Structure 1
């Protein structure tokens, strides 16, 4: 607890993180009036706490979950500190030019639904509420890696968009969260290492299951290092063609099926 209390607050991000402002403001200038949007992103308090405590990617999140069970008050204090810092940091990114901000809970898969409800979602909601109060015009996305068993929590999240990983079906997520909820995802990023036909099939399935409204086509997490650039290009082009893909699928479904002799 003494170490948590000794952590410095993020009072002046322009001084401590000047490269973030430079990068975002430069990109915003380059985008100009192209119609593209500049996205900022941050880790959630839980994910940053786990990275901090473990010091590396650790498959069982052993030290952090040992703290969770043995000294939950210390973990809550760390999460509280990170939450306050992230409220400042998200605002800093918006002031630098970010037009949308995504909160990544990349280590949510380490949490049971009950643990998520205590150690992740309330802190993310604090960030969302504080940022929305100051910047109501900026959409906020919440993405939980490993969110398949937490759809009820995600449905209750107040973010404008819910990002989904590839461990659930888009149809199941749509059913759980409703037709009016904007969902993002959730194509397996590893399909981009496959042939063009596999990419087209995965994209079509995702689009059809999500429905024609309130969906942002995306992969279910980050693009993996080494992914062929031409595959990323194809995926982006298919995203631009999403309305045509859905229309073509609908026409194909209406075609009369041949009757077996």
Structure 2
């Protein structure tokens, strides 16, 4: 059993339940902008060693929570753990990002891949449990995975890409091969995320980082379809608590209605989507997470507070909003600046959760 949760503001907002103020966390909140993170990474030896040691993973997960009044922690790991467990040989080169020793380019390559289970990634499950205990109920813990499409882009390209030529060629020329790969990944991700839930994760986010490079029809067929498959297979309640699911497709604002219909509890928005317009389109179905431009954190305190107010006002009154960046925090941000943002969200957000006259009328049974 885990300690009782003291701050459930984040979970309540995802479920569109009343909160006292807007909750906030930041994608990539544990990362290179923090000097203590850089020290931990140096002690670990390299990035993968940091991820695969539960003590280090716990240490860096908690670092931003010691600096800032965040409303959630997110597991420190990498989206490419599943392809690594499939035997593709993940490694990192300085300045070039992730790479694989073995790219997936043919039907034979796909056929040779296993469907991974939580046991294949037991170091992640151990980290989840370790972090959950270390949090001591302070805030909820988010588990996560990359989407099948996003994982496939790295696997087929052999690493990061600017043009995605190999996976897009596969998509058009041999779509049946890509579908087989995506199905294996969807089954693996479902097992992986359910393992995280059983290990202690209290919410789940699916990162579809590269879904936005697709055309509308291709997004439906090769990205959203497989996220829907995952969502339908996830544990949605554990130990008497609902497990909210967030889907984040970068540059996916044009597909919000389709994404909401796939069954998540919340949609993450990048900064190119107006949050007020998003709420008008799908806010009756799902909560929204986002969506300030991460580069705002390069500005001074007054500018950060102004931009926070703009996002809060854009969403408007009521619950169903989790404040976040529109993508991960940049490594060159000064560590003081996230505090300006987080404190402003809590302070300025409170007025958007005060009862309005119409709300009081409804409570009193008035017309």
When the two structures are superposed, what TM-score results if normalisation uses the length of structure 2? 0.63
The residue aligned with 1:240 is 346
1:5-57 CA-partner distances (Å, limit 9, x unpaired): 1101213x33x3232122211111111122x0100110000100111111222
What displacement does 1:112 show? Answer: 1.2
- Whether the aligned pair in 1 keeps the contact of 2:245 and 2:264 (CA below 8 Å) is yes
Q: Partner residue of 1:2?
A: 108
Q: Match of 2:258? A: 153
Shift of 1:92: 1.1
1:257 alignment counterpart? none
The more displaced of 2-11 and 234-243 is: 234-243
Residues 99-118 of structure 1: matches in 2 within 5 Å? 99-118=202-221
Report deviation, 1:238. 2.2
What is the match of residue 76 of structure 1? 179
**Which residue is 1:88 aligned to?**
191
Summarize the alignment of residues 101-180 of structure 1 with structure 2, pairs less than 5 Å apart.
Answer: 101-132=204-235, 135=238, 137-179=242-284
Residue 191 of structure 1 deviates from its aligned partner by 0.7
Match of 2:126 in 1: 22
Residue 44 of structure 2 is aligned to residue 44 of structure 1: no
Identify the residue that residue 30 of structure 2 maps to in structure 1. none
| 1:208–1:103 distance in 2 versus 1, CA, 3 Å | same
1:133–1:8 distance in 2 versus 1, CA, 3 Å: same
1:203-242 paired onto structure 2 within 5 Å: 203-212=308-317, 213-242=319-348
The runs of at least 4 aligned residues of structure 1 exceeding 6 Å deviation read: none
**Equivalent residue for 1:32?**
136
Gapped regions of structure 1 (runs ≥ 5):
251-261
Distance 1:108 1:2, change over 3 A: same
- Residues 1:210 and 1:151: Cα distance change in structure 2 (over 3 Å): same
Q: Report the CA distance shift for 1:199/1:181 in structure 2 as closer, same or farther (over 3 A).
A: same
Cα gap change, 1:147 to 1:65, in 2 (>3 Å): same
Unaligned runs of 5+ in 2: 1-106, 357-367
Cα distance in structure 2, aligned partners of 1:247 and 1:82: 40
**Aligned-pair distance for 1:148?**
2.1
Report if aligned partners of 1:42, 1:102 keep a CA contact under 8 Å in 2.
yes
Q: 1:180 Cα deviation (Å)?
A: 5.2
Aligned in 2, Cα 1:133/1:179: closer, same or farther, shift over 3 Å? Answer: closer
- CA deviation string 1:203-223 (max 9, x = no partner): 111111112221111111111
TM-score normalised per structure 1: 0.88
Residue 184 in 1 paired to residue 289 in 2? yes
Q: Secondary structure at the match of 1:120?
A: helix
Q: How many pairs were matched up? A: 246
Alpha-carbon RMSD across the aligned residues, in angstroms, is 2.0
Structure showing the higher helix proportion among its residues = 1
Aligned to 2:161: 58
Q: 1:155·1:176 contact (CA, 8 Å) conserved in 2?
A: no
